[in-house]
Amino acid sequence: MATNVIEYVQFIGSNYSTPLSVDGVSYDLESEYSKSIKNTIYSQCPVWKHRSNRVYTVRSPIDVHLSVDVDSRSLYSKNLSQQQFDEYFVEAFDAPEPGWCTEENTTIQMTIPRILFWTKKKNIWIEQRAHPLTSLNNNFVVVGGCFNMSNWTRPISFAFDVIDTNRPIIIRRGDPIYQISFYSPNLDDGYLLKKSSPSSEIIDKSSNTSTLTTLFNNKIPQSIKNKLFKNEESKCPFKFLWK
């Protein structure tokens, strides 16, 4: 068993030096176990403790009151200025056709908080998943994902599906908004999260990955993608993520 050090920084948009990284503005990532009630009927269960020690909660650094108008495909906020609104919200998954807000589903993407994780350890996977209380308390469920962070340096975005567009999305500062977990080949491994300032090399890797992802998603036809990623050993274009 090993302890894997994971470094991270919280920021807004693409600016890694925003005030969000200052102590007292953002919330440190804490394990579910460290914030749990210790006298529950299951608190001494080793199975539960093993999982909860490896699940970290991400909390909102701001208050948000947001309403959706499906007919006009518009968002409205009662508590944010226009400048804050423009900075904190971006179009979500609008390529190749606009579709973030439909009768069936509404997906919203925020740039606060964004978190960049990096590690020197090999083959460490990161998973972003919904917190179990947001659908009840906040009217949304985060859009999750999982990738090999040792090979792919990219920030974690905060995109979510609205549960009921007839009700507002209300997020209070400090509310849990999603969970983060880490995995290595040895599932007994532990993790130590450490707030850090990313080096220029880490920032370059992250920027290049974000640019590449946007380019592939929005501009390159599938036929070209197939040629770029042709691999006789595997049909998966992102095979490198699993190495």
Residue pair 156/117 in contact (Cβ under 8 Å)? The answer is yes
Residue ranges of domains in the chain, CATH in brackets = 3-242 (2.70.40.10)
Torsion on CA atoms 192, 198, 202, 206, rounded to nearest 10: 90
Residue pair 240/151 in contact (Cβ under 8 Å)? The answer is yes
Least trusted range by pLDDT, from 1-15, 45-59, 155-169: 1-15
pLDDT score for 213: 55
pLDDT score for 223: 54
Q: How far apart are CA 97 and CA 32, in angstroms?
A: 39
Residue pair 66/168 in contact (Cβ under 8 Å)? The answer is yes
pLDDT score for 218: 54
More confident residue, 78 or 209: 78
Residue pair 95/80 in contact (Cβ under 8 Å)? The answer is no
More confident residue, 222 or 15: 15
- Encoded amino acid at 222, one letter: Q
Q: Is the pLDDT of residue 198 over 70?
A: yes
Q: Is the pLDDT of residue 195 over 60?
A: yes
pLDDT tens readout for residues 27-69: 999 999 998 988 899 988 999 999 999 999 999 999 999 999 9
Residue pair 126/146 in contact (Cβ under 8 Å)? The answer is yes
When pLDDT is averaged across residues 157-186 and rounded to a whole number, the result is 95
Q: Kindly list the distances between the CA atom of residue 2 and the CA atoms of 39, 152, 185, 201, 229, in Å, as whole numbers in the listed order.
A: 28, 22, 11, 26, 35
Concatenated DSSP letters of 81-97: -HHHHHHHEE--S--SS
Helix, strand, coil shares of the chain, percent, nearest 5, are 20, 35, 45
Least trusted range by pLDDT, from 168-172, 189-193, 204-208: 204-208
Q: Is the pLDDT of residue 92 over 80?
A: no
- Encoded amino acid at 203, one letter: I
pLDDT tens readout for residues 209-236: 655 555 455 555 555 445 334 433 444 4
Share of the chain above pLDDT 90, in %: 54
3-state secondary structure 21-61: HCECCECCCEECCCCCCCCCCCCCCHHHHHHHCCEEEEECC
Q: How far apart are CA 140 and CA 222, in angstroms?
A: 32
More confident residue, 197 or 1: 197
Q: Tell me phi and psi for residue 77, to 5 degrees.
A: -125, 135
Share of the chain above pLDDT 70, in %: 81
pTM, full prediction: 0.83
Q: How far apart are CA 180 and CA 192, in angstroms?
A: 13
